[in-house]
Chain A
């Protein structure tokens, strides 16, 4: 049997169908209002420069109005991309699920660094901004400690913070967090080894979000730069699917620039020298030693994560000294863990339950 069986007429028919779908879909797209993201009510309880601390609460329609866990939960997102991924839309909100699981949820929003922020260091981000936010949460709630949930790069930050200030952290949850930055299956780590980071930062100052985006799209270029947009044509007749697509698209290309000095240290110390697990990481006056992490730890990772390979996250258990270390595996990818229907039912409720079981 020949491997390809399509008469010319069938090809022309397929093209005709494709064009009709495309044209009809474009009409739908033009009809669509600009998508809205970030749906859960919240207020700004503290601001320091461009960094904001947001407090989330349930609206009247929610079954769970008051938090049941007296220990507040501080969510730390990455500097890369925006944290509204955690609160994308109705039915796809990790933050909403955490509220409904009885947690008192605060989120650190790092904002969009500008030229004036180029000299911000990891010491500024962690021992100043994050520390001030956590102190503020303790002051507002009357609690001596907080639960910390770090996501992706924010998870790495949470590990560093918990190692430097263990007395302030009751429980630590890391989600799709790189720990071993040099696992053999990590494309990002492999690519970073031959890049002259000093030259890059000295030349550009802040690192443009577009540069990072280009790098991330190159992880799966055939899917992310091509096939995805043909898939979009297939779904453009369904306005709900189209809106979901547009929300994701908005998030993917909403990439803040990175403060130059922080980027320099993050790539050199973490990706190029793997200092977090080599016990040679210095942030400000602190030597970061993961062995200081003795509080309960829940490590959540995604089995099909193309950005942070599971092997990189799972390394954590070898370095922390917690007697109460758990893992939660999600059968999906780096993005699906926040937004998929499966994750909404499984991940955030499980994190909420785990935190409530660790009062």
Chain B
């Protein structure tokens, strides 16, 4: 292909891409105007957001996907709050709908953590964000395969987890006795990580419960002063204020220091153990591993420092030479 033809092809492809993008954007805009507001005894506004987003995500430019995900995730949680309050108010058998909602939230915190259920929707999205955020982070870190989706948010059976990894890395010769033993050595590390994760999440759940109790006290204090909440958003904002105050105290406690440190340390120990097991396998296959690469980087770093020192010495000598030349 000659240069002109190649450029023309490139231009055509680019124009076609732009056209498709704008057509898709137009479809998204059409979709945005057609979201119905549904009112019933048990509305599912949050699910509507999900359905809309599933249809829109395909057409969203990549640089906007992360931020839109965050906005829509938070909107979904906010609409879940609206659904819960609406249901309590609409089904007015409860004498005080807000109290009924607070009680149901407390029960949610208690039961969801105690039973280690798969999803965690309490806390207007916050606790879910913390939990999901941790797993998202863990999956982003290098050197270990991602956690199986079915086990996210759960205290999975360590053996099940180990099996998953062994399958994921079905390396030839992986079934030798020595290598089986290497994998088995990871079991206590997995157990330790699961225990630390559960302790961290339990502590967070306890803090959220306390925040709810403080929210209740704040609301009744307001009522005693003749003030009341008249907007959902005002209720949400008050919850954020109260929770942030409660969390700030908790995060400075000895308990938080311990559960936070233990979680990070247990995860790193597991990751390190996994890396060592993987290295052993790679050695069996005569493949280079990270420690080999690190050795090269270390040498390169030493050479860079040596080079820098030599450059400085040279500059110093040049200055001395200049001074001598000036004197003579």
Contacts and interface: CB of A to CB of B under 8 A. Distances in A.
A226 B240 contact: yes
A49 B308 CA distance: 11
A19 interface: yes
A44 interface: no
Nearest to A12: B39
B78 A230 contact: yes
B232 A14 contact: yes
B240 A222 contact: yes
B244 A191 contact: no
B124 A30 contact: no
A232 B66 CA distance: 14
A253 B66 contact: yes
A43 interface: no
A210 B137 contact: yes
B45 A19 contact: yes
A139 to B, nearest CB: 11
A236 B56 CA distance: 17
B220 to A, nearest CB: 6
Interface in B270-328: 271-272, 275, 290, 293-294, 297-298, 300-301, 304-305, 308
A3 B129 contact: no
Nearest to B270: A203
Given A2-B96, A226-B126, A233 B257 contact: no
Size bracket, chain A contacts: 35 or more
A5 interface: yes
A199 B265 contact: yes
B167 interface: no
A34 B227 CA distance: 44
Contact of B29 (A27, A202, A222): A27
Contacts of B79: 15, 18
In the A-B complex, list the 10 residue pairs whose CB atoms are closest, starting with the nearest.
Answer: A194-B261, A4-B98, A229-B74, A3-B219, A119-B301, A3-B223, A23-B32, A8-B90, A225-B129, A203-B272
A204 interface: yes
A5 to B, nearest CB: 5
Contacts of A240: none
A39 interface: no
A240 B97 CA distance: 40
Interface of A: 1-8, 10-12, 14-16, 18-19, 22-24, 26-27, 29-30, 34, 49, 115-116, 118-120, 124, 128, 184-185, 187, 190-191, 193-196, 199-200, 202-205, 208, 210-211, 214, 217-223, 225-227, 229-230, 232-233, 246, 249, 253
Contacts of A124: 305
B316 to A, nearest CB: 12
B67 A200 contact: no
B235 interface: yes
B143 A214 contact: no
Contacts, number: 214
Nearest to B56: A26
Contact of B272 (A7, A190, A202): A202
Interface in B216-238: 219-220, 222-223, 226-233, 235-237
B269 interface: yes
24 contacts: A2-B98, A2-B228, A4-B98, A6-B232, A10-B230, A11-B85, A15-B37, A19-B49, A23-B32, A27-B32, A30-B64, A115-B297, A184-B252, A191-B256, A204-B142, A205-B142, A208-B142, A210-B141, A217-B133, A222-B239, A222-B240, A222-B244, A225-B126, A229-B75
Nearest to B73: A229
Contacts of A120: 301
Contacts of B28: 26-27, 30
Nearest to B40: A12
A226 B141 contact: no
B223 A193 contact: no
Given A222-B240, A249-B67, A118 B297 contact: yes
B89 interface: yes
B130 A221 contact: yes
B32 A18 contact: no
B125 interface: yes
A202 B273 CA distance: 12
A227 to B, nearest CB: 5
Nearest to A227: B240
